[in-house]
Structure 1
Amino acid sequence: MSGTAYVTAGRYAPPAPARTLTAVSADGARLHVEVHGAEGAPAVVLSHGWTCSTAFWAAQIRELARDHRVVAYDQRGHGRSPAGAKRYSTTALADDLAAVLKAALAPGERAVVAGHSMGGMTVMASAGRPEFTEHAAAALLCSTGSSGLVEGSTVLPLPPGRVRTRLTRAVLGSRAPLGPVTPAARAVLRYATMGPGSAPDRVEACARIVHGCPTAVRHAWSVVLAGLDLDEGLARLTLPTAVLAGRDDRLTPVAHARGLAAALPHCVGLTELTGMGHMTPVEAPEAVTAAIRELTSRYLETEKEKTA
């Protein structure tokens, strides 16, 4: 991580992992992986979003690790995964998740895979991959979309159209450093990514994480997201998949979630959270954790019964 330290107290402080490991992706990129909880417990794999890190899942890790084995990893260039990778694409996202699944899970071991924002796009990009098919029993797509991200974003309060799209692309793809976490920076982040009622500790936790993302990495991934088209991957995502979103999400408005739920071959539920923005795992930790628990209860227990 560079620049800004994570919060060190409260439920948004990153918990210490039981162990760490390094997954090596197809192009040699090295990924920081954390494992929390007891070996042999039902497995959950968490994939974070753009400009975030494993710290973004602190509340889910803290709760789920009581009776699950939780695997969380830093996307390439984020957190403790080195920023030296030259390849940024949806193929790289899928390669990286495949490497994490291979490194952290036993052959044939199944897990619930939850992805937030770019992490959800990682899940869609991985659909049909042998490693994903082998290890994923069910998935949660949280505050994400499969295409049209820039066109659909309402971060800028302008009418939809070419002008808003062009300006949104410029803002989200800015190469300017975010700098230190200041009151003004918190206000901007809260407006752009969180619901209007977000508590100060939640805004602070998100700001520390986002401001810690290297500027070059933030820009490189913004280019990938601006041209995102994972509609075909979404159609191949045939495992049981739940969708969750905040109704006040400006980055990926709730229309994306509704479109995902309608297009998924096996959607097992759409949850819309009133008053919540884009950062749902931090803004609504109980709801996100409950959605993951529901999937592990329904689909990992079924897997266990099959092999008993």
Structure 2
Amino acid sequence: MSRRAVVRGGLATAGLLGALAVAHTLRRIGARVRWPAERDEYRDENFALIDSDEPGSVLADDGVSLATRTYGDDSAAVTLVFAHGFCNSMESFHFQRRDLARQWGTRVRMVFFDLRGHGRSGTPATDSCTVEQLGRDLAAVVRECAPSGPVVLIGHSLGGMSVLAAAAQFPELFATRVVGVGLWCTAAAEVTATGIPQLLRHPAVGGFRMAVRTAPALVQVSRTASKQLITPILHVSSFHGPVSPTLSRFTTMMIDRTPVSTIEKFLKAIELHDESAALPVLAGKPVLVLGGAHDLVIPFRNSRVLAAAIADSELVRVRAAAHMPHLQFPEVTLDALDRLLTAAGVTGGHEEAVGG
């Protein structure tokens, strides 16, 4: 083995160890999350519900395959398209899929998809892992899965950034088709200015990036080591206060299924993104901005700034939530979605579910 290879491997290992030291610090912060809960209300919940919906795939403009699931048919009054967050998958909208089907029945159609590099979607090239590309991916899903009729777009975290990126690049789509927008725990720009994203600038996380690039086998094979970096961030950022152990395991599994290479590829995209140009496109539309009061990833003040920049938007502060309010407090997000759909002109809620 050459000296250069030895040095490179040593630096990669040092970078990974440095990142794990950051993870240890995060564990101390995460100790404020009280777990396990006194009860487990989701012990018998079917978190594979979305798997029963119609499967499909959409080819992005660069050939990456985007996995989709669709509930409902073309007779629905509106199609809701959901874009999930970083290191999540479409299953993160489990409760919205369950509750909207129960409450709105055949009046709504729902399309879920996995972002590139996440879930069942294809593996992207590094230079395609940008927020702008995610906006193009979202537009492609709308074109293929909801080619006609009114559309409501719901984006959480990185998915919310993709909604804003789509608005900046495809204003005509928003002018003619999009009748409502939900932006949950997200920001238009400067996502790294506050909260846990400051870790993206920490030298140890830089070391983690280098470890993936220079010794990917080291990181990918050592899933235990990479989980020690990711899981503490999950514990800090996802929930606040008591949470169902089953729900916690479900969320952790989404994180664990995300390839380490995907995490590394998107870190820089999150750091650099600026979708401020999208904000005028949303003016005059029903927009729901929702955030958790205890969100350490994208603190609620970012949601407040976002809502202030979009005239007449509704701002919802989920008092007891962190970064995943749609999983921990689905009833709050359902009420907010009801109001968004009503504001968007969709009527006929509270139907009995058909096949829900």
Q: Shorter-chain-normalised TM-score: which range?
A: 0.7 to 0.9
- State the 1:205 CA deviation: 1.5
Rate the CA distance shift 1:173–1:112 in 2: closer, same or farther, 3 A.
farther
Mapping of residues 276-287 of structure 1, within 5 Å = 276-287=321-332
Unaligned runs of 5+ in 2: 1-41, 213-218, 348-356
2:186 to 144, 148, 153: 144
Residue 289 (structure 2) aligns with = 243
Mapping of residues 104-183 of structure 1, within 5 Å = 104-107=145-148, 109-128=149-168, 129=170, 130-154=172-196, 166-167=201-202, 170=205, 174=209, 175=212, 176=219, 179=223
Unaligned runs of 5+ in 1: 1-6, 157-163, 303-308
The CA distance in 2 between the partners of 1:300 and 1:208, in whole Å, is 37
Name segments (4+ residues, structure 1) moved above 6 Å.
Answer: 181-185
Residue 72 (structure 2) aligns with = 37
Say whether the 8 Å CA contact 1:44–1:112 is kept in structure 2. yes
Rate the CA distance shift 1:259–1:277 in 2: closer, same or farther, 3 A.
same
* Count of residue correspondences: 287
Of the structure 1 ranges 188-197 and 74-83, higher mean CA displacement relative to structure 2 is found in 188-197
Rate the CA distance shift 1:59–1:171 in 2: closer, same or farther, 3 A.
farther
**1:131-179 deviation per Cα after TM superposition (whole angstroms, max 9, x unaligned):** 34332110010011112222211478xxxxxxx6732882897545583
Say whether the 8 Å CA contact 1:152–1:253 is kept in structure 2. yes
Does residue 19 in structure 1 map to residue 54 in structure 2?
yes
Of the structure 1 ranges 197-206 and 74-83, higher mean CA displacement relative to structure 2 is found in 197-206
2:140 to 94, 99, 103: 99
Mapping of residues 242-261 of structure 1, within 5 Å = 242-261=288-307
The CA distance in 2 between the partners of 1:172 and 1:209, in whole Å, is 24
Say whether the 8 Å CA contact 1:248–1:276 is kept in structure 2. yes
Per the normalisation by structure 1, the TM-score is 0.83
Secondary structure at the aligned position of 1:225 is classed as helix
The CA distance in 2 between the partners of 1:148 and 1:266, in whole Å, is 23
- State the 1:242 CA deviation: 1.0
Residue 211 (structure 1) aligns with = 256
Say whether the 8 Å CA contact 1:153–1:168 is kept in structure 2. no
Amino acid at match of 1:253: P
Amino acid at match of 1:29: V
Of the structure 1 ranges 279-288 and 45-54, higher mean CA displacement relative to structure 2 is found in 279-288
The CA distance in 1 between the partners of 2:255 and 2:301, in whole Å, is 24
Say whether the 8 Å CA contact 2:191–2:197 is kept in structure 1. no
Comparing both structures, which one devotes a greater share of its residues to helix?
2
**1:170-201 deviation per Cα after TM superposition (whole angstroms, max 9, x unaligned):** 28975455836989975552223321333322
Does residue 294 in structure 1 map to residue 294 in structure 2?
no
Does residue 62 in structure 1 map to residue 98 in structure 2?
yes
| RCO higher in structure (CA 8 A, sep ≥6) | 2
The CA distance in 2 between the partners of 1:278 and 1:168, in whole Å, is 24
Rate the CA distance shift 1:168–1:57 in 2: closer, same or farther, 3 A.
farther
- State the 1:15 CA deviation: 2.8
Per the normalisation by structure 2, the TM-score is 0.73
